[in-house]
Amino acid sequence: MSSVKAQQAARTRQRVLLAAAEVFDEVGYEQASVTRIVERAGLTLGALYFHFGSKQGLAEALMNAQPTTIEPHLESTGLQRMVDITLVWADRMERDPILRAGVRLAVEQGSHGMNDATSFEEWRELMRGHLDVARRAGELREGTCPDRLARFLVGACTGLQIYSNLAAGRADLMERVCDMWDLLLPSVASEAVARGVRVDPVRVSSR
Amino acid sequence: MSSVKAQQAARTRQRVLLAAAEVFDEVGYEQASVTRIVERAGLTLGALYFHFGSKQGLAEALMNAQPTTIEPHLESTGLQRMVDITLVWADRMERDPILRAGVRLAVEQGSHGMNDATSFEEWRELMRGHLDVARRAGELREGTCPDRLARFLVGACTGLQIYSNLAAGRADLMERVCDMWDLLLPSVASEAVARGVRVDPVRVSSR
């Protein structure tokens, strides 16, 4: 494929993905028809099936697109980066349809017969990487296991989001994420680092 | 209503509830038909509608029945009781269909058009009560807010369960709950209490 054609294909794929995200986010998996998605994208059914194979293929692509919508917004390293990932995530849940759809699909997948932990395991892997950096830099308290902490963070953030969504339409998600770090940092960070790490919505509000 | 009739009505209600729990747990809300539920219960559609009004009424009753399936198993007080609630919960998620259905319905409710935080708020209220007791007994570290900690625990447990269910069919849910307390206790409990509180599956395994 020529590079012009490849670029065109990538753009088409992204248009289908965005349209699908909006529709899934609005009405959930069951109610989202492929016809509605391609109409929203201004494309043909052929384009959808060429790039994603099926509605379920689209849902899988969206569930697994979560980390790539977060990482470009980060500059910090180690434990501060770990905190920042969750702050950016809470902030972008307000307005990024690809992220919102991915999270909704991952949580409700049981209701449409899916059972795929991939997106959770990818978040865990990504977080463990940053926590390994933090450990090598002496930022973690002795005995803190990066892998278990990563596993806990992925689970906790998942549930925080569900509860916040039901109780407050996600209006307090950022506050809940900050609460999480206020509770965790004294346990997991070395004393000097716990004082230095900034848990503050201001870190992402200007983006 | 005579007391015999009242007892009969309560038994019928419980039979419908249990049959519905089994069906919702097995196939989810969408696929669970009221016909299938009353067949499982060996009762009539009339009994279902008399006690719960509709399929959605049944789902709401199950979502809100969670705490009452946990509390009878507890003897401790304060922070230890708080830990024990989560241990009993993790243990009973393995085999109590009413609890499993309640949790599944609460998490997937968005996919069938419901948006009800009641079960989450009731868990939070219940937990805050025990954490208030803990605070009055000097078990909490200064600055630990019972209400925010309760809110965090409800969210965290929700997400731990989802992730554990997808990744391991809940086989490691108890381990994940213990990890949570290992991470939290040093931050939220006063030093002596953090050492004294037992986070151990053995506490519930003999029940």
pLDDT, tens digit (0-9, with 9 covering 90-100), for B121-180: 999 999 999 999 999 999 999 999 999 999 999 999 999 999 999 999 999 999 999 999
Is A60 part of a structural domain of the chain?
A: no
Same domain, A116 and A189: yes
Instruction: Classify the C-alpha dihedral B182-B188-B193-B197 as positive or negative.
Output: negative
Q: φ and ψ at A142, to 5 degrees?
A: -55, 140
Q: In chain B, which residues have their Cβ closer than 8 Å to the Cβ of A166?
A: 109, 115-117, 120
State how far the Cα of B166 lies from the Cα of B178, in Å rounded to an integer: 19
Give yes or no for residue A190 having a pLDDT over 60.
yes
Q: What is the pLDDT of residue A44?
A: 94
Task: Give yes or no for B94 touching A (CB within 8 A).
Answer: no
Distances (CA, A) of A151 to B8, B50, B71, B147: 47, 44, 28, 24
The answer to whether the CB atoms of A155 and B152 lie below 8 A apart is no
Same domain, A153 and A127: yes
What mean pLDDT do residues B103-128 have?
A: 89
Q: What is the pLDDT of residue A2?
A: 78
How close B8 gets to chain A, by Cα (Å)? 34
Give yes or no for residue B73 having a pLDDT over 80.
no
Q: What is the pLDDT of residue B37?
A: 96
Task: Give yes or no for B129 touching A (CB within 8 A).
Answer: no
Q: What is the pLDDT of residue A62?
A: 93
Same domain, B114 and B184: yes
Q: What is the pLDDT of residue B71?
A: 75
Non-local (6+) Cβ contacts of A54 within 8 A are: none
Give yes or no for residue A175 having a pLDDT over 70.
yes
A interface mutation test: which of B166, B172, B174, B190 has the most A CBs within 10 A?
B166
Regarding predicted confidence, which is higher, B204 or A152? A152
How close A1 gets to chain B, by Cα (Å)? 38
State how far the Cα of B20 lies from the Cα of B131, in Å rounded to an integer: 33
Regarding predicted confidence, which is higher, B66 or A36? A36
Same domain, B88 and B16: no
Same domain, B16 and B115: no
Among the partner residues A111, A160, A186, nearest to B155 by beta-carbon distance = A160
Is A136 part of a structural domain of the chain?
A: yes
Is B94 part of a structural domain of the chain?
A: yes
Q: What is the pLDDT of residue A45?
A: 95
Is B113 part of a structural domain of the chain?
A: yes
A56-59, long-range: CB < 8 A, 24+ apart: A56/A114, A58/A16, A58/A17, A58/A20, A59/A24, A59/A29, A59/A105, A59/A109, A59/A112, A59/A114
How close B165 gets to chain A, by Cα (Å)? 9
Regarding predicted confidence, which is higher, B1 or B34? B34
Contact A79, A196 (CB under 8 A): no
Among the partner residues B111, B159, B165, nearest to A156 by beta-carbon distance = B159
Q: What is the pLDDT of residue A58?
A: 95
Same domain, B79 and B161: yes
Q: What is the pLDDT of residue A1?
A: 62
The answer to whether the CB atoms of B179 and A111 lie below 8 A apart is no
Same domain, A179 and A157: yes
Q: φ and ψ at B180, to 5 degrees?
A: -55, -45
What mean pLDDT do residues A33-44 have?
A: 96
Is B92 part of a structural domain of the chain?
A: yes
The CATH number linked to B40 is 1.10.10.60
pLDDT band, residue A179 (cuts 50/70/90): very high
Same domain, A95 and A114: yes
Among the partner residues A28, A167, A184, nearest to B110 by beta-carbon distance = A28
Give yes or no for residue B42 having a pLDDT over 90.
yes
Among the partner residues A107, A117, A188, nearest to B183 by beta-carbon distance = A188
Lowest-confidence range among A61-70, B8-17, B135-144?
Answer: A61-70
Considering its fold, how many domains does chain B have in total?
A: 2
Q: What is the pLDDT of residue B2?
A: 78
Same domain, B134 and B188: yes
Task: Give yes or no for A114 touching B (CB within 8 A).
Answer: no
Among the partner residues B112, B116, B176, nearest to A155 by beta-carbon distance = B176
The answer to whether the CB atoms of A159 and B164 lie below 8 A apart is no
DSSP state of A145: -
Q: φ and ψ at A138, to 5 degrees?
A: 70, 20
DSSP state of A141: P
Regarding predicted confidence, which is higher, A19 or A30? A19
Is B188 part of a structural domain of the chain?
A: yes
pLDDT, tens digit (0-9, with 9 covering 90-100), for A73-88: 788 999 999 999 999 9
Mean model confidence pLDDT for chain B: 92
Q: What is the pLDDT of residue A206?
A: 54
Is A174 part of a structural domain of the chain?
A: yes
Q: What is the pLDDT of residue B1?
A: 63
Mean model confidence pLDDT for chain A: 92
Q: What is the pLDDT of residue B206?
A: 54
pLDDT, tens digit (0-9, with 9 covering 90-100), for A120-133: 999 999 999 999 99
Same domain, A71 and A51: no
Same domain, B98 and B148: yes
pLDDT band, residue B110 (cuts 50/70/90): confident
* Burial group, residue B7, by CB count within 10 angstroms (0-12, 13-18, 19+): exposed
What mean pLDDT do residues B40-52 have?
A: 95
Contact B163, A190 (CB under 8 A): no
pLDDT, tens digit (0-9, with 9 covering 90-100), for A89-113: 999 998 899 999 998 998 888 877 8
Q: CA nearest B114 in A: which residue?
A: A166
Q: 3-state DSSP call for residue A2? A: coil
Task: Give yes or no for B162 touching A (CB within 8 A).
Answer: yes
Query: Domain containing B39: what range?
Result: 3-54
Same domain, B119 and B187: yes
Is A8 part of a structural domain of the chain?
A: yes
State how far the Cα of B30 lies from the Cα of B111, in Å rounded to an integer: 9
What mean pLDDT do residues B88-115 have?
A: 89
A interface mutation test: which of B23, B111, B176 has the most A CBs within 10 A?
B111
